[in-house]
Amino acid sequence: MSTSLISTPFSLPTKTHLQSQQSQAISTLKPAISLSNFTPKPLSLSSRKLPPLSAMAIEKETPENEAPPTFLKDPSTSSDSVRGRFEKMIRDAQDKVCEAIEAADGGGKFKEDVWSRPGGGGGISRVLQDGVVWEKAGVNVSVVYGVMPPDAYRAAKADGGSHKPGPIPFFAAGISSVMHPKNPFAPTVHFNYRYFETDAPKDVPGAPRQWWFGGGTDLTPAYIFEEDVKHFHQVQKDACDKFDPSFYPRFKKWCDDYFYIKHRGERRGLGGIFFDDLNDYDQEMLLSFATECANSVIPAYLPIIEKRKDTPFTDKNKEWQQLRRGRYVEFNLVYDRGTTFGLKTGGRIESILVSLPLTARWEYDHVSHFIAPCDPYYEALSQKKAVKSGNCWMLASIQKSGYDREFVTIPL
């Protein structure tokens, strides 16, 4: 038995079906008391204590006709500030990535939505859907500020944060993207780079402002090609090594640990790099590092797409891709902190869920085996032997069944 997810994960019962159920229930149930003597009491909403709106959600967005030169409205925030330069970086990256994806797709075009928030800031959402190469590709930027509820602050911090209850003044800017190709042999890629600032609540005088960077780039193929994994990880390592040789092994492990589907006991994909709450280095250095990582996305990903986008595939290959996408959906809806943050702050739902594919698949008690493009490669992995390519040790993985993945992880 299988289930396909196409746009919506469930269907609602029809009005006729509900009326039928209600009539059956009324005809078979007998009241324990006489309804003629029953006087309902009106529900008093005033007796219920509801939290203020500011404690539950950040303000809803307002559609705009075009993107402003900057979403920063505070006169004290200049274009030379970290906030200003980070906004410029993510908007430049969005333009470059979208231009490259449209060129590689050869037919699809990004739809753009611009929105603003009454409390401050806004964003630009761009989505290419049903293209020639990509089933769905989203590249979003947002620059928002104001106050956030405590639940959102805890979602934004990897350690959950510790602070007195109450709304938290904040600034958050980031670029986030997920691209799902049509061809099962072409991998999905995700990247996200962000910058946060928070002030202490107003009832905590004198507390220092906090800031941190976060982000990463990771690859999720349905079928594994050694040369693709090697290329992708080498680009990540090259970007990291320009700043600190400890970054790649540290952030690669962080990526493996973060993108872990606990209820399945497996990782979402083949990793890459991931970091969060990063503020133990010079702020200027981390801004340059985030910029380098964002600029490395296209060189890491597009060469793989060019090699795999026209590979012939069967219905079985497509079914396997859909099953792996089911895992992608599970992680994003259950564990992903970006999704959690967006939902807890009442953010723009279309932007929050743009990471989900158009289609995915779940089967009951599914057991499958790879159609391996290189059998000796998969045999080596299944026996937990390291895979060596030239002078470079690499990350690799093997999917032994529909829900059991073993990983061989040896740093580059």
Instruction: List active site positions.
Output: 190
d(CA 117, CA 125): 14
Q: Which helix (H) or strand (E) holds 115?
A: strand 111-116
Written as six digits, the tokens of 49 are 């204590």
Residues 6+ away with beta carbon under 8 Å from 402: 323, 363, 366, 367, 368
Which residues lie closer than 8 Å to 73 by C-beta, 6 or more apart? 120, 121
End-to-end CA distance of the chain: 41
Question: In this structure, is the dihedral angle defined by the CA atoms of residues 299, 300, 305 and 308, taken in order, positive or negative?
Answer: positive
The enclosing H or E element of 371 equals: none
Judge contact between 158 and 168, C-beta under 8 A: no
Q: Which residues, other chains included, contact 39 with Cβ-Cβ below 8 Å and sequence gap of 6+?
A: none
In angstroms, rounded to a whole number, what is the distance separating the alpha carbons of residues 61 and 245? Answer: 41
Gap between the Cα atoms of 266 and 397, Å rounded = 11
CB 234 within 8 A of CB 392: yes
Spatial CA neighbour of 84 closest among 67, 68, 70: 70
Query: Given the DSSP bridges, would you call strands 388-389 and 62-64 parallel, antiparallel or unpaired?
Result: unpaired
DSSP state string for 180-239: EESSTTSPEEEEEEEEEEEPPPTTSTTPPPEEEEEEEEEEE-SS--HHHHHHHHHHHHHH
Please check whether residue 94 is in contact with residue 111, taking contact to mean a CB–CB distance below 8 angstroms.
Answer: no
